[in-house]
Chain A
């Protein structure tokens, strides 16, 4: 069901945004390179910028319309907005930031309790801290809690991971996933990273030069021609959630449970039982049709091919191993192995290719 539909024209500093689309609930990524109009679009949806003309409708309610003239101010739209660098209020402490919007939310709209958000985003130890003393990851968590505390009808996130270290990205991705699972808040996630979009989102809108170039389910939009020019497939990675089951200190290897399979990864500092985000580059995974014998790679995982997309010099394969994994192979490899949907395959992953995105626990 359509949740948000818009048709927006906005000239901004010599740039023209002219974009129409309709989003379902769930998480939608707005993907494009910097300067493609992603943030301008998000600001128009939030009411922080006024379009030159067009229409924005949320759940049947007109938020903006150029004729007849209608423009709901941002404070009436009840959309949570998370800025790229958090934009926390420096004159308030962490709790003050979280409660700023909550206090302004009429009682009948309050669905999310601040205590629940504080627990969900694990902020209870930070509440009296000054926001100047927070790490990048902590700032982003506070910003997300602050936006959710108004019980928003939708959460708009503008590249929330862009200014974070890899270690914190994994953490924030997990928090966003738990928000999706527990609160069900629809989200628009602006990003220029296909890996993040793949890890988090259901659908993707591709923006190119201010116009919608493609829209659809994340997996298939990734290989859309419009994305081919924008995406850096070489850095495409799987960002997956895993549980540490065992740490073999002498060999420096940890066992991670991911979907239904075990993976070995080096250099894990997280304790057994904790949840981590794992990163595996799509190009670092080898596909085999038989169980390979006597090889050095520690991870051999059985799976079923779901989709095969050939795009120029690249073939993107989605394999279900209990979770969905994206693998990149060459057209030649696809041809000689005859990779097709529903085929039984084995993924070969060197343990050194399994990166654990986790901040050091001290």
Chain B
């Protein structure tokens, strides 16, 4: 691998990790609201957070472009233009992979016996403490599996990324974009090598994901 390829790999991993890190607290909060608090309007939130899974990623990219642009609401809030930077690529990857993370977290949290949480409340723990000392520890395998699935999705993000972050070598060109460019310039050898890296990354992550889920969840007391 050339140094350029290594920097592409590092950039891709950075985008994936940052996207996943952004998703974790949000996914925990949303699944707590939907599964444990059972808030009003839960169905609407559910549809909204799952939407990126159902629409073409380029749609997400376009909406993000509008929101993050200098004139967009988020752009004005941030006071700077992050469009066509790796941060925008991470944001795009986060949004597209969020449904996978939040859905896994919801399933894992729904599997935690409500009476364990009720026990903890009667033992003096407030709702937030119950969440972090009972719910999350008992659901962590499912949550972690969801994070891995989200991570692997973030690594392969293409449509939203190219729309909002462009395809700038050394700046926003992640692995899928580099593969695309290689194909465009008919460098099949390089495309093949990058595809190999891409498959290896995905295989490693998916193996870890399956290992996490295969380990039987502990018996509830």
**A interface residues (Cβ-Cβ under 8 A, vs B):** 43, 46-48, 73-75, 77-81, 83, 86-91, 97, 100-101, 104-105, 131-132, 139, 146-147, 150
B122 touching A90 by the CB < 8 A rule? no
Q: Known: A86-B221, A89-B134, A90-B218. Is A46-B122 also a contact (CB below 8 A)?
A: yes
B221 touching A139 by the CB < 8 A rule? yes
Decide if B40 is an interface residue (CB 8 Å cutoff): no
Decide if B113 is an interface residue (CB 8 Å cutoff): yes
Q: B133 — which chain A residues lie within 8 A by C-beta?
A: 100
B119 touching A89 by the CB < 8 A rule? yes
A81 touching B124 by the CB < 8 A rule? no
A139 to chain B, nearest CB (A): 7
A90 vs B219: C-alpha distance in the bound complex, in angstroms? 7
B219 touching A83 by the CB < 8 A rule? no
Residue of B nearest to A152 (CB): B122
A79 touching B122 by the CB < 8 A rule? yes
A161 vs B137: C-alpha distance in the bound complex, in angstroms? 29
Q: A147 — which chain B residues lie within 8 A by C-beta?
A: 122-123
B221 touching A132 by the CB < 8 A rule? yes
Q: Known: A87-B119, A91-B137. Is A104-B218 also a contact (CB below 8 A)?
A: no
A258 to chain B, nearest CB (A): 35
A75 touching B116 by the CB < 8 A rule? no
B122 touching A75 by the CB < 8 A rule? yes
Residue of B nearest to A43 (CB): B118
Q: Which of B129, B138, B221 has most A Cβ within 10 Å?
A: B221
A100 touching B118 by the CB < 8 A rule? no
Determine which of A81, A86, A131, A146 lies in contact with B118 in the assembled complex, contact meaning CB atoms within 8 Å. Answer: A81
Interface residues on B, range: 20 to 34
Determine which of A74, A105, A132 lies in contact with B122 in the assembled complex, contact meaning CB atoms within 8 Å. Answer: A74
A57 vs B218: C-alpha distance in the bound complex, in angstroms? 39
Decide if B2 is an interface residue (CB 8 Å cutoff): no
Q: A90 — which chain B residues lie within 8 A by C-beta?
A: 116, 138, 218-221
B221 touching A101 by the CB < 8 A rule? no
Decide if B120 is an interface residue (CB 8 Å cutoff): yes
A87 touching B138 by the CB < 8 A rule? no
B122 touching A88 by the CB < 8 A rule? no
Residue of A nearest to B137 (CB): A91
A78 vs B123: C-alpha distance in the bound complex, in angstroms? 7
- CB interface residues, B 123-163, toward A, < 8 Å: 123-126, 129, 133-134, 137-138
Q: B218 — which chain A residues lie within 8 A by C-beta?
A: 90-91, 132
A80 touching B134 by the CB < 8 A rule? no
Would you list 8 pairs from A and B whose C-beta atoms are within 8 A, ordered by A residue?
A47-B122, A74-B118, A77-B122, A89-B120, A91-B138, A101-B125, A132-B218, A150-B124
B126 touching A100 by the CB < 8 A rule? no
A88 vs B133: C-alpha distance in the bound complex, in angstroms? 13
Q: B138 — which chain A residues lie within 8 A by C-beta?
A: 90-91
Q: Known: A87-B221, A90-B219, A90-B220. Is A48-B126 also a contact (CB below 8 A)?
A: no
Q: B123 — which chain A residues lie within 8 A by C-beta?
A: 75, 80, 100-101, 104, 146-147, 150
A78 vs B126: C-alpha distance in the bound complex, in angstroms? 12
Q: Which of B115, B119, B137, B220 has most A Cβ within 10 Å?
A: B119
A78 vs B138: C-alpha distance in the bound complex, in angstroms? 25
